[in-house]
């Protein structure tokens, strides 16, 4: 392997990709409100996706096949629920300290700041 003048890796030989083979979707069981309350104190895997027009927090309960997704912009997004989850569970994620843990708290504060400004204007 060599690095060219632009800092990109150059390979000695041509890379041939295998053809795409779609995988079957695995069925997912979503957490109910009762599941969320009963498993408080447990551990959730966390992943956040943030774009200017989209926000999503995805969770998977450790050692169980239960999932939860909170998306901003949908009727079911509830910032109080997101706040409760983030304070009631331990979370594990890739790049969580510098990214994923900051996003929910920022989204919650933005939501409440807009909510309070609407009430007082």
In a domain, 52, yes or no: yes
pLDDT at 104: 63
Per-residue pLDDT tens digits for 15-48: 788 999 999 998 999 999 999 999 999 999 988 8
Would you place residue 121 in the very low, low, confident or very high pLDDT band (cuts 50, 70, 90)? very low
In a domain, 16, yes or no: no
In a domain, 73, yes or no: yes
pLDDT at 114: 53
Measure the CA angle with vertex 112, ends 107 and 71; round to 5°.
Answer: 40
CATH number of the structural domain spanning residue 73: 3.30.720
Span 107-117, average pLDDT: 51
How would you classify the pairing of strands 66-72 and 54-61? antiparallel
What DSSP state is assigned to residue 99?
I
**Domain count along the chain:** 1
In a domain, 12, yes or no: no
In a domain, 106, yes or no: yes
In a domain, 17, yes or no: no
Domain enclosing residue 59, as ranges = 28-120
pLDDT at 3: 81
Q: Radius of gyration over alpha carbons of the chain, in Å?
A: 20
Q: Is the pLDDT of residue 118 over 50?
A: no
Per-residue pLDDT tens digits for 60-84: 999 999 999 988 765 556 778 888 9
Predicted model pTM? 0.65
pLDDT at 119: 37
In a domain, 20, yes or no: no
DSSP 54-67: EEEEEEEETTS-EE
Q: Chain-wide mean pLDDT for the chain?
A: 79
In a domain, 38, yes or no: yes
């Amino acid at each position: 392997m060599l690095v060219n003048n632009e800092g990109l890796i150059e390979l000695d030989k041509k890379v041939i990709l295998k053809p795409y083979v779609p995988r079957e979707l695995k069925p997912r069981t979503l957490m109910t409100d009762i599941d969320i309350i009963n498993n408080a104190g447990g551990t959730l895997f966390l992943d956040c996706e943030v774009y200017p027009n989209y926000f999503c927090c995805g969770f998977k309960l450790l050692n169980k096949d239960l999932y939860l997704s909170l998306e901003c912009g949908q009727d079911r997004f509830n910032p109080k629920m997101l706040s409760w989850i983030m304070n009631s569970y331990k979370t594990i994620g890739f790049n969580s300290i510098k990214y994923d843990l900051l996003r929910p708290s920022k989204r919650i504060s933005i939501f409440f700041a807009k909510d309070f400004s609407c009430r007082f204007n």
